[in-house]
Chain A
Amino acid sequence: MSQSRTRRSIPAAGALLGAAALVLTACAPPGGTGTVAPTTAAPSGSTEATCGEEDVVLDAYIETGFPLPKELFDEFTAQHPNVTFQVREDQFAVLTQNAPRTLQDNPPDLMRLPQMSELASGGLLLNLDPYAEQFGWTEWPESQLSQLRVDDEGRRGSGPLYAMGLNFSMTGVFYNKELAAEIGMTEPPKTLAELDAAMDAAKKAGITPLAQFNGGATGGLMFPLQALMASYGPTQPLNDWIFQVEGANIDTPENLKAAEHLQKWVEAGYFADDVNSMDYAQMMARFIEGDSLFIFNGDWESGNLDTQMPGKVGFFVMPPLEEGGTQFGAMSAPLTYGIAAGAKHPDCAAYFFNWVATDEKARTITVEVGGSHPMGATDAFMPEVDPDSVTAATLAAGTQVNEVNGAMDFLANATGSIYAQSWTPNVQQLVAGKQDAAGLLSAVQRDYEAEVGG
């Protein structure tokens, strides 16, 4: 017995020794000195950046499932034969996980960016301010670019420009025109009360009013919730909260009314009974199959819906409380792309951004393929769009929102983990009746303060 015990203890001691040795060799703090070398090729002063005459291969890392960037790349190559693109694609979740590593170890010239404040403050993204000066992006409406600015403490909304959009999206409510006709809804609701009435009529007619994704790790009820907030109160405080302005609070009387309104919808059974297990793809499938009167979503689906159910879909911005009121808004965000701090061809990548926003063909592709509004000056070229299409309706809604200055970023983007760790579980609990409107807002505010303060 004693012999077997010593024999066993020798290997054990050996293993421990080995482990200890490994720990010792790796004892420097992780991350090392950490700072990424600032870009090698700082944009050159006054002359505009170009792609030059020599052959250039732009390294692009984009999101799977969206045809817009590749169509733009093809058109760009057609116009600039010396430039070709080497494209890598991944799901958005994979991009989110890999962004810091990729930007540091294998810096792409163009990359679809997830939540970017940490990437920018970590020195992984190129400061685009010099390009903004050269190309005159500073003349564009500031609302297009403010979400892409990050200050030195990682707060978005002001500071240098660290990314550019390929377009900017607009959110609102899509509705199935055939189902709407069945309940006698012939035009989009003009007030929140009319929207409530339409949902109620649908419910009574046996039509699911709202199939909204909210399952797994998704909190799709954020779409109606934030839209309701913009109908009950001004959008500026919401943007302040997202941009982490000192003292910003989500738990306000206006937002409470909005959350209570959402809770009322839940309790009235306007949502499909399985929203807590529905993912985004299922929601789209239900809507396209005609199983839901409304969905809250964004114009990135306009092109898709125009193809899948042409002429059958309408779109409206969340209506105000009173008819003709100007208190309403929509989430709107640029389709964010950035240039890695260590990118090989930053000038050419920046030139590409400018081309996307200014070239007539590029703007046409942006509208027809992407379904969203192109970036750029307000008086820039706009392609003709079929007036009966959803794309036309979403573009018109964009104008409407801009007139009342109602564009806001997504509440989900306020911090790196506020969506996954706070909004999502809380809206899922709201659906299950385990959380109420007041509890939802105070819980999220608590998590927000813990993250922003800590």
Chain B
Amino acid sequence: MSHHLEGAASVHSGAAPSASSVAPEPAAAPRSPRRRRLLRSLPIYLLVLPAALFYGVFVLRPIALTAQFSLYDWNGIEPATWVGLANYVEVFTEPKLVGSILNAFELILYFSFVPVILALFAANVIRGIATSRLAGIARTVLFLPQVIPLVAAGIMWTWQFASNGMVNELLRAVGLGGLARAWLGDFDTALPAVGVIGAWVALGLCLILLLAGMSKIDQSLYEAARIDGAGPVREFFSITIPGVRQELAVCVIVTVIAALASFDIIYISTQGGPGNSTLVPGLQVFYLAFFDREIGTASALALTLMALVLLVVLPLQRLLRGRES
């Protein structure tokens, strides 16, 4: 999660400088106001140049190379052979690769919807008790998973989900021992179990974002609503949710990206097993590139994944933020 966050952040902060380092349209006439404006802002462009260079070398160039590799059959060492779009055909026809993409979409449910909804309610409750000490404790407890490295979180949850782990012990303690199972080893429960880990991690991030958003809402709005006779439910839907619309959008987008591009949690907890039931594109790209040494297919899947993320996130962004701009 934190990786994707950083990635998302660098895309936003990086895109602008790289673009602005390229000279804008040629000036129509010398000494035009536009030209003068450009000269005046030249130092600013020089300042962003180093960042733009890094962006070009470490973001744009790898993407371009990946696009190139995706058109070849290559094992990473020997000379490559040109295969055109064959790798992409494989991505969309090989059932295993298609299955991994479908798994990623199912993960959106756990990585995004669940934590966003839970965080909304938790934030609302914490806002309600904002003056008590409990609020601070609750915030810390819920945010803590964000601080724990994902690998550690993955290992910890693997233990909890084991046959004699905490989850099964709790079930047995309340007389539901019949439900106990190896959660990560069962075809039907492995993906939801992985989803729980993701939800647990994402909850803290969403909570902090939404709390920050809620603290911006003018208190007089609530007072006015109360005078008009609104109950807590009405307040929540008419004031709180519209008030945190921006933060909500960020939460949804960041967690959807985390779901579609997920890798670390799954790599630690199930490695895609059992029987590919938790295989996601991110993991499959890694396997294809570094174990099967099929750099071409891996690159094609990676680009497909990137396109998929954009395809899902761009409309979402428009939908969630659109009206404000």
Q: Which residues of A contact B (CB under 8 A)?
A: 10-12, 14-15, 17-19, 22-23, 26-27, 29-36, 96-97, 100-101, 104, 118, 122, 124, 214-218, 272-278, 416-417, 420-421, 424-426, 428-429, 431-432, 434-435
Of the residues A10, A31, A429, A432, contact of B19 by C-beta under 8 Å: A10
Interchain CB contact under 8 A, B185 and A275: yes
Residues in B neighbouring A217, C-beta threshold 8 A: 271-273
Interchain Cβ contacts under 8 Å between A and B, 30 examples: A11-B15, A11-B16, A14-B23, A15-B19, A18-B18, A18-B60, A22-B61, A22-B64, A23-B67, A23-B68, A26-B64, A26-B65, A29-B79, A97-B291, A122-B75, A216-B274, A217-B271, A217-B273, A274-B163, A274-B181, A276-B182, A276-B185, A277-B270, A277-B274, A416-B292, A420-B291, A425-B275, A429-B275, A434-B275, A435-B275
Chain B residues whose CB sits within 8 angstroms of the CB of A27 once the complex forms? 68
Measured between beta carbons, the chain A residues less than 8 angstroms from B22 are 11, 14-15, 17-18
If A34-B79, A118-B75, A122-B78 touch, whether A97 touches B290 (CB-CB below 8 Å) is yes
Which residue, of A17, A122, A426, has the highest number of chain B Cβ atoms within 10 A?
A122
Assess the B56–A278 pair: CB atoms within 8 A: no
CB A108 to nearest CB in B, in angstroms, measures 16
Proximity string of chain B (273-316) to chain A, C-beta cutoff 8 Å, 1 when within and 0 when not? 11110000000000100111101000000000000000000000
- Is A100 a contact partner of B76 (Cβ separation < 8 A)? yes
Task: Tell me the nearest residue of chain A to B183, going by C-beta.
Answer: A277
For the complex, what is the distance from the CA of A122 to the CA of B79, rounded to whole Å? 10
A157 to chain B minimum Cβ distance, whole angstroms, is: 21
B223 within 8 A of partner (CB): no
Q: Given the interface contacts A19-B64, A26-B68, does A31 sit within 8 Å of B15 by beta carbon?
A: no
Most buried by A among B18, B77, B273: B77
B residues within 8 A CB of A428? Answer: 273-275
Contact pattern, B 45-66, Cβ under 8 Å of A = 1, otherwise 0: 0000000000010001101110
Instruction: State A23–B71 Cα separation when bound (angstroms).
Output: 13
**Does B111 count as interface, using CB distance less than 8 angstroms?**
no
Complex contacts, A10 vs chain B, CB 8 Å: 19, 24-25
Find out whether the CB atom of B79 lies under 8 angstroms from the CB atom of A14: no
Contact of B82 with A by CB under 8 A: yes
CB atoms of A416 and B19 under 8 A apart: no
Using known A-B contacts A274-B185, A276-B186, determine if residue A31 contacts B74 with beta carbons closer than 8 Å: yes
B252 to chain A, nearest CB (A): 23
Verify A122–B15 contact, CB threshold 8 A: no
- Taken together as a complex, chains A and B put the C-alpha atoms of A277 and B185 apart, in Å, by 4
Residue in contact with A277 in the complex, picked from B24, B64, B182, CB distance below 8 Å: B182
Q: Which A residues touch B78, using CB under 8 A?
A: 31, 34-35, 122
The CA of A275 and the CA of B275, in the complex, are separated in Å by 13
B142 to chain A, nearest CB (A): 28
Which residues from chain A contact B68 at a C-beta distance below 8 Å? 23, 26-27, 30
- A382–B16 Cα distance when bound, in Å, is 71
Is A96 in contact with B291, judged by CB distance below 8 angstroms? yes
A421 CA to B272 CA, complexed, in Å:
11
Is the C-beta of B20 less than 8 angstroms from some C-beta in chain A? yes
Closest to A275 in B: B185
Shortest Cβ distance from B151 into chain A, in angstroms?
14
Number of interface residues of B (CB under 8 A): 53
Nearest-neighbour CB distance to chain A for B73, whole angstroms, equals 10
State A122–B74 Cα separation when bound (angstroms): 12
Q: Which residues of chain B are within 8 angstroms of A11 by Cβ–Cβ distance? A: 15-16, 19-20, 22
On chain A, the residues within 8 Å of B263 by CB distance are none
How far, in angstroms, from A124 to B25 measured CA to CA in the complex? 51
Does B63 contact A19, Cβ atoms closer than 8 Å? yes
* Complex alpha-carbon distance, A278 and B182, angstroms: 9
CA distance A4 to B69 in the complex (A): 36
A11 to chain B, nearest CB (A): 3
Contact in complex: A274, B182 (CB < 8 Å): yes
Interface centre among B78, B96, B162, B182 (most CB of A within 10 A): B78
A424 to B278, CA, bound (A): 14
Contact of B61 with A15 in the complex, beta carbons under 8 Å? no
**How far apart are B271's CB and chain A's nearest CB, in angstroms?**
4
User: Are B15 and A22 neighbours in the complex by a CB distance under 8 Å?
Assistant: no
B80 interface hit (Cβ, 8 Å):
yes
The answer to whether the Cβ of B248 comes within 8 Å of any Cβ in the partner chain is no
Check if A29 sits within 8 Å of B77, measured CB to CB.
Answer: no
Known: A215-B273, A429-B275, A434-B187. A30 touches B182 (CB 8 A): no
**Does B72 belong to the interface (CB within 8 Å)?**
yes
CB of B82 within 8 A of CB of A29, answer yes
Residues of A within 8 A of B67 (CB): 23
Is there an interface contact between A26 and B74, defined as CB atoms closer than 8 Å? no
CB distance from A219 to the nearest CB of B (A): 9
**Which of B96, B273, B290 counts the most chain A CB atoms within 10 A?**
B273
Residues of A within 8 A of B122 (CB): none
Query: What is the bound-complex CA distance between A424 and B60, given in angstroms?
Result: 37
Structural contact, B291 and A273, CB atoms closer than 8 A: no
Check A30 against B162 for contact (C-beta < 8 Å): no
Is A424 a contact of B80 with CB atoms below 8 Å?
no
Whether A274 and B187, one on each chain, are in contact in the complex, defined by CB atoms closer than 8 angstroms, is no
Contacts A11-B15, A217-B272 given; indicate if A273 touches B77 (C-beta within 8 A).
Answer: no
Q: Which residues of A contact B256 (CB under 8 A)?
A: none
| Cβ-defined partner of A14 (8 Å) among B19, B272, B287 | B19
**Complex: how many Å from CA A272 to CA B276?**
21
Given contact pairs A96-B291, A215-B274, A416-B293, a sample of 20 additional A-B residue pairs in the complex whose CB atoms are under 8 Å apart: A29-B74, A30-B80, A31-B77, A33-B79, A97-B291, A101-B76, A118-B75, A122-B78, A216-B270, A217-B273, A276-B186, A277-B183, A277-B270, A278-B182, A417-B292, A425-B275, A425-B276, A429-B275, A434-B187, A434-B275
A88 to B310, CA, bound (A): 41
CA distance A426 to B96 in the complex (A): 13
Point out the residues of chain B lying under 8 angstroms from A426, CB to CB. Answer: 275
10 A-B pairs closest in CB distance: A277-B185, A11-B19, A14-B22, A274-B182, A276-B185, A217-B271, A216-B271, A428-B274, A97-B290, A34-B79
Alpha-carbon distance between A354 and B183 when the two chains are bound, in angstroms: 49
Do the beta carbons of A277 and B75 come within 8 Å of each other?
Answer: no
Could you tell me if A424 and B61 are in contact, using CB atoms closer than 8 angstroms? no
A53 to B59, CA, bound (A): 51
Q: Which of B20-40 contact A (CB under 8 A)?
A: 20-25
